[in-house]
């Protein structure tokens, strides 16, 4: 047994490393659970705002804090707003995370006519959207509604409107299923040797 200058027992190197590792794991769990989580963009549904291979940080704090596995909210946070890009549990499979843009909040009336979005009877100007088939009109995808967003629900769509499975096809997103608000891109590449340096640190909006 060894003593330090103050006569106290010295911790073994193994114990010191174990305690440091445990502290790091607890800190990482706290950050991931309550503050920030990393996500990777796997599909083209949010082009050109988000590209395949973008890695982003999302704020879990923005929309409130819930105790894991309980559904008990200890911090309310703000409600998602029109234009927010959110990460949520896909209604068809809650184990899968989706990312889309909020188009309608509770009470909004949403319709699409020949690719043009209408909200509460007014045409919405959307500078961020992309159309892969601008001259092709398809039912439901390009002509939809009107529908009224129910209380506690949200209507979401991808920015790549002709290549996005969203609320037009599978319905509304429940407020409780919204996990985080997309914040910043911390890494982006299109494979080894093709790092998109210009996107690193970009604010998502």
Which listed residue (60, 100, 115, 181) is catalytic? 100
Strands of the chain, DSSP E: 36-40, 54-59, 65-66, 73-75, 85-90, 93-104, 109-113, 116-119, 122-123, 143-148, 153-157, 173-174, 178-188
The torsion angles phi and psi of 155, rounded to 5 degrees, stand at: -105, 125
Catalytic residue among 11, 40, 45, 95: 45
100 catalytic? Reply is yes
9 catalytic per annotation: no
Q: Are 58 and 37 in contact (CB under 8 A)?
A: yes
Q: Radius of gyration over alpha carbons of the chain, in Å?
A: 22
User: How far separated are the first and last CA of the chain, in Å rounded?
Assistant: 59
Instruction: Indicate if the alpha-carbon torsion angle 77, 171, 137, 45 is positive or negative.
Output: positive
Q: How far apart are CA 51 and CA 109, in angstroms?
A: 30
CB 108 within 8 A of CB 122: no
Residues with a catalytic annotation lie at: 45, 100
């Amino acid at each position: 047994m060894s003593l330090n200058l103050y006569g106290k027992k010295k911790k073994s190197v193994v114990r010191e490393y174990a305690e440091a590792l445990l502290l790091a794991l607890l800190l990482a769990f706290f950050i991931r659970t309550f503050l920030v989580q990393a996500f990777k963009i796997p599909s083209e549904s949010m082009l050109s705002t988000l590209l395949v291979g973008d890695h982003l940080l999302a704020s879990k704090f923005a929309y409130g804090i819930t105790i894991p596995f309980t559904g008990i909210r200890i911090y309310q946070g703000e409600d998602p707003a029109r234009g927010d890009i959110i990460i949520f549990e896909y209604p068809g499979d809650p184990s899968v995370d989706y990312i889309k843009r909020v188009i309608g909040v509770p009470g909004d009336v949403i319709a699409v006519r020949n690719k043009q979005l209408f909200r509460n009877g007014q045409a919405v100007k959307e500078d961020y959207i992309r159309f892969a088939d601008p001259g092709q009109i398809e039912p439901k995808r390009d002509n939809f509604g009107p529908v009224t967003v129910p209380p506690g629900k949200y209507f979401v769509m991808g920015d790549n409107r002709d290549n996005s499975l969203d609320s037009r096809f599978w319905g509304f997103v429940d407020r409780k299923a919204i996990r985080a608000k997309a914040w910043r891109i911390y890494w982006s590449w299109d494979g080894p040797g093709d790092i998109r340096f210009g996107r690193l640190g970009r604010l998502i909006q």
